């Protein structure tokens, strides 16, 4: 029996809704045959976007979507993606060496902003700073955000179908600038950032500019960059961090040891958050900048997603390349991935004062996806359900939790038995409990301190008979949520490898 005290009188911070954000790169099957099926498609669509994904993203209150990359952003010329679709150029995609696909530019700025409007999310653009000039990016900001009828680019936007500005607020100044985004040192990038950011910031009101940050546990990068950026106060509101959990066995047939190894890797994001935040605070930047974890999730070996069998479904994953047999980086998602998602979102909640935004990589048919689709098929992964069951935390005031939950010890790893977070919003307390044990149920007593709870609560549970379970085109609902409202005295049983969200009125 574990006792968790929820301190009603010890708020941490409001969890920004943007902690529950998404990422859609022009890579593999994320955009084409992922979110986009085309206006003339037989697949139900809204203005070319897959209807089912739009509805499902609305249902989880998706707050923000990052676009167009990732690495793809660093070869993207925004001018390729505007104007009549038939006139748009086909370009070499950043990833063409991996899968031979070209970029048709069918989905560009107007289409992507429309997608965001349809789902009710804010767009977060990643600007190319290695293959363009500051003036090119100034022009993109101008095109997107200048009021109707003002600049020549605002008039061009109107000519292309959008009189009103898109008001894109979030802009990443480069992506992974230590790697694909220019292969720079931290110092080199800091100087580039200063050039781009001062111009971008001067082009529109209210932009939130995000500085490209470290990969995983590279502690040198934030230090080298922030040292130089510290005086540029008003031009930076976010420091990016990318954190993938490495490969821990096969995504579908992992062993018990690999289950815990995967979770251990995932939980280490907390240390990365603390260390990166330490640099922000160390340079006195916490008054205007917070962390933006704009790529996170499990990165398994590819080849387990449904596109591997697309031809059996009569679908060609890459019509312009007969050698391409599957969507790049597409992976199946099991209950293990759902546990990583729940534990990670709990960590984000518990560090809400440090984090401005987080976008899981990636939305569909790729790493740690919420959806797997192809042709008429579209299913939700267990990870989608985690976002669904935890959405009440968005905008809630996170409360400190203390207590004993013990640890699970393995030869080389130890993980806590339970991952948890709690928040209050609109007079309701929401607690999410993820039982990280692969085999043992967790009996938990929730003890509210300085707060009284109603004697009924809603219990939302994500569980499955086997930790390896996942949803497929054949069995789309194998892993699903159950909801129940019943008497509540503080006791919660969480089955092994399961997530439970409890919501109760605060009296
Ligand atoms: O998410 C896939 C890739 O991972 C992104 O394009 C890149 O930013 C990262 O290395």
Whether the predicted pLDDT of 97 surpasses 90: no
Mean pLDDT of the 154-171 span: 98
Check if the beta carbon of residue 33 is closer than 8 Å to that of residue 373. Answer: yes
Q: How far apart are CA 33 and CA 307, in angstroms?
A: 10
pLDDT digits (tens, 9 = 90+) for 463-507: 999 999 999 999 999 999 999 999 999 999 999 999 999 999 999
Name the domain count of the chain: 1
pLDDT digits (tens, 9 = 90+) for 262-302: 999 999 999 999 999 999 999 999 999 999 999 999 999 88
pLDDT digits (tens, 9 = 90+) for 192-233: 999 999 999 999 999 999 999 988 888 899 999 999 998 766
Whether the predicted pLDDT of 79 surpasses 70: yes
Report whether residue 176 contacts ligand 1, using a CB cutoff of 6 Å. Answer: yes
Global confidence as pTM: 0.97
Mean pLDDT of the 411-439 span: 95
Assigned domain for 267 exists: no
Mean pLDDT of the 236-258 span: 93
Nearest CA, atom 9, ligand 1: 70
- Whats the size of the chain, residue-wise? 507
Which helix H or strand E contains 53, and what residues bound it?
helix 51-59
Nearest CA, atom 2, ligand 1: 70
CATH number at residue 143: 3.20.20.80
Whether the predicted pLDDT of 318 surpasses 80: no
Among 67, 70, 130, 247, the mutation site with the greatest number of ligand 1 atoms within 8 A of its Cβ is 70
Mean pLDDT of the 135-139 span: 97
Assigned domain for 180 exists: yes
Nearest CA, atom 8, ligand 1: 70
Q: What pLDDT does 143 receive?
A: 98
Q: How far apart are CA 238 and CA 71, in angstroms?
A: 19
Report whether residue 362 contacts ligand 1, using a CB cutoff of 6 Å. Answer: yes
- For 100, the domain range is 16-243+292-393
Assigned domain for 285 exists: no
Spatial CB neighbours of 450, under 8 Å, sequence gap ≥ 6: 7, 8, 9
Check if the beta carbon of residue 17 is closer than 8 Å to that of residue 355. Answer: no
Nearest CA, atom 6, ligand 1: 70
Assigned domain for 86 exists: yes
Q: Is 176 a catalytic residue?
A: yes
Neighbours of 32 (CB within 10 A): 21
Assigned domain for 314 exists: yes
Catalytic residue among 25, 111, 176, 330: 176
Q: What pLDDT does 289 receive?
A: 95
Report whether residue 71 contacts ligand 1, using a CB cutoff of 6 Å. Answer: yes
Neighbours of 173 (CB within 10 A): 28
Assigned domain for 459 exists: no
Whether the predicted pLDDT of 321 surpasses 70: no
Mean pLDDT of the 304-330 span: 74
Q: What pLDDT does 316 receive?
A: 64
Q: Is 103 a catalytic residue?
A: no
Q: How many angstroms does the Cα of residue 25 sit away from the middle of ligand 1?
A: 8
- Does the CA dihedral 144-146-152-154 come out positive or negative? positive
Whether the predicted pLDDT of 411 surpasses 90: no
Catalytic residue among 111, 295, 326, 330: 295
Report whether residue 367 contacts ligand 1, using a CB cutoff of 6 Å. Answer: yes
324-346 burial string, b = 16+ CB within 10 Å, else e? Answer: bbbbbbbbbbbbbbbbbbbbbbb
């Amino acid at each position: 029996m574990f006792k968790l005290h929820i301190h009603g009188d010890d708020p941490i911070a409001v969890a920004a809704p943007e902690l529950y954000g998404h990422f859609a790169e022009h890579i593999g099957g994320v955009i084409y045959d992922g979110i986009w099926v085309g206006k003339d498609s037989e697949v139900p669509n809204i203005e070319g976007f897959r209807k089912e994904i739009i509805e499902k993203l609305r249902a989880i209150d998706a707050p923000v979507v990052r676009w167009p990359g990732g690495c793809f952003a660093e070869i993207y010329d925004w001018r390729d993606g505007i104007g009549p679709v038939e006139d748009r150029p086909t370009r070499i995609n950043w990833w063409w060496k991996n899968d031979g696909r070209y970029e048709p530019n069918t989905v560009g700025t107007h289409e992507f902003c429309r997608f965001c409007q349809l789902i009710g999310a804010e767009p977060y653009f990643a600007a190319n700073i290695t293959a363009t000039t500051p003036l090119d990016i100034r022009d993109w900001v101008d095109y997107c955000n200048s009021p109707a009828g003002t600049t020549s680019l605002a008039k061009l936007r109107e000519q292309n179908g959008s009189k009103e500005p898109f008001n894109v607020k979030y802009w990443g100044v480069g992506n992974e600038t230590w790697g694909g985004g220019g292969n720079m040192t931290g110092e080199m990038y800091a100087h580039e950032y200063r050039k781009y950011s001062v111009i971008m910031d001067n082009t529109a009101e209210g932009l939130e500019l995000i500085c490209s940050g470290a990969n995983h546990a590279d502690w040198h990068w934030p230090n080298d960059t922030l040292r130089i950026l510290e005086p540029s106060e008003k031009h930076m509101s976010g420091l990016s961090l990318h954190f993938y959990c490495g490969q821990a066995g096969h995504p579908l047939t992992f062993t018990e040891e690999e289950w815990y190894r995967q979770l251990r890797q995932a939980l280490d994001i907390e240390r990365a958050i603390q260390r990166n935040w330490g640099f922000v605070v160390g340079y006195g930047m916490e008054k205007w900048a917070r962390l933006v974890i704009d790529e996170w999730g499990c990165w398994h070996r590819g080849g387990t997603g449904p596109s591997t069998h697309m031809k059996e479904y009569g679908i060609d994953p890459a019509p312009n390349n007969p050698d391409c047999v599957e969507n790049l980086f597409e992976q199946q998602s099991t209950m293990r991935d759902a546990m990583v998602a729940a534990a990670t979102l709990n960590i984000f909640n518990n560090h809400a004062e440090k984090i401005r935004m987080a976008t899981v990589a990636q939305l569909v048919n790729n790493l740690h996806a919420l959806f797997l689709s192809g042709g008429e098929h579209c299913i939700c992964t267990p990870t989608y359900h985690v976002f669904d069951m935890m959405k009440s935390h968005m905008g809630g005031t996170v409360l400190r939790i203390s207590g004993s939950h013990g640890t699970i010890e393995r030869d080389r790893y130890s993980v806590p038995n339970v991952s948890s977070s709690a928040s209050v919003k609109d007079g309701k307390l929401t607690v999410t409990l993820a039982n990280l044990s692969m085999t043992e149920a967790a009996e938990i007593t929730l003890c509210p301190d300085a707060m009284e709870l109603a004697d009924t609560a809603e219990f939302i549970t994500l569980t499955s008979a086997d930790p390896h379970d996942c949803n497929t085109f054949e069995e789309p609902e194998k892993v699903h949520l159950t909801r129940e409202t019943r008497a509540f005295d503080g006791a919660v049983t969480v089955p092994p490898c399961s997530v439970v969200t409890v919501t109760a009125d605060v009296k």
